[in-house]
Structure 1
Amino acid sequence: MADVMHRSRPLLRTLVGDVLRRRRREQERTLAEVARDASVSVQYLSEVERGRKEASSEIVAAVCDSLGIELADLLAEVGRDLVVHRAPVVRLETARVRLEAARPHRAARMPRSSGAGEVVLLAA
């Protein structure tokens, strides 16, 4: 179960790499150009972009400088990407209303619960 949950959440290094690659490509720059300006090897920058290496804050700052982007903008974009990957959460009351609407004949017989002792199943 832990493996399933782990795989369903993107790693921060993957999201950072995705944003760096996207920004570099938007500027139509090569790995070699950005790596040279950031004083890192092409291979290392490639691994950072692919989410294979966890870049230090100094490396991330250097790559941001090379791309001419602010660290805050990088992090904001990573945050937006993270929201896209987040699983939706259904509130219990919303689920109960949907259930009652879907099964009106049972809803009339089901007493309203106080919430104490309820069992909730969340599925993705």
Structure 2
Amino acid sequence: MTDHVPNEARVIPLRPHGARPRVTRPPAAPHQGPTAPVAKEPLWRDLVGDVLRRERLAQERTLKDVADAARISMPYLSEVERGRKEASSEVLAAAAHALGLGLGDLLHRAQGELTRLTSHHAAGGRRGTSPSSHDGLCLAA
């Protein structure tokens, strides 16, 4: 037989054995005292979904009933209500109409909820005019 040397993998360490990896950190900012946690802005899709679900439940209607009336799938409507899907204006209008609302009614209710939530967060900060109090609604598509 021949002298056959098995193929063995060699491990070549990239750093010396036992050395810890170097962790780079950004320079520390000057201490400015304790900072309050930043409140997350509510997502539009969550607000709209909440309005749709509340209205559907107030009318004591099922997901299937509203989805059929809106001509959208029941799983998709469920995802929209839970804020998991960013629905198009067509889908939102169809769901709103199925609930007897106009698209403007749906958006107005969602905007009211947004104002309520953001003014609640702003109330803990400054008094007077807050950047989150809005007189109008602006949507960009």
Runs in 1 of length 4+ with deviation above 4 angstroms?
Answer: none
Among all aligned residue pairs of Structure 1 and Structure 2, give the percentage whose two residues are the same amino acid.
Answer: 52
Q: TM-score, normalised by structure 2?
A: 0.58
Out of 56, 66, 81, which is 2:88 matched to?
Answer: 56
- Separation in structure 1 between the aligned mates of residue 84 and residue 63 of structure 2, nearest angstrom: 15
Name which one, 1 or 2, has greater alpha-carbon Rg: 2
Bigger proportion of residues as helix: 1
- Which structure would you say has the larger RCO, counting Cα contacts within 8 Å and 6 or more residues apart? 1
CA RMSD of aligned residues (A): 1.7
5+ residue gaps, structure 1, are 93-124
Aligned runs of 1:1-124 on 2, under 5 Å? 5=38, 8-86=40-118, 87-88=121-122, 89-91=125-127
Q: TM-score, normalised by structure 1?
A: 0.66
Q: Deviations over 1:48-106 (max 9, x none)?
A: 000000000000011111111011111111111101211225149xxxxxxxxxxxxxx
The residue aligned with 1:103 is none
5+ residue gaps, structure 2, are 1-36, 129-141
Q: How many residues are matched? A: 88
State the one-letter code of the partner of 1:90: R
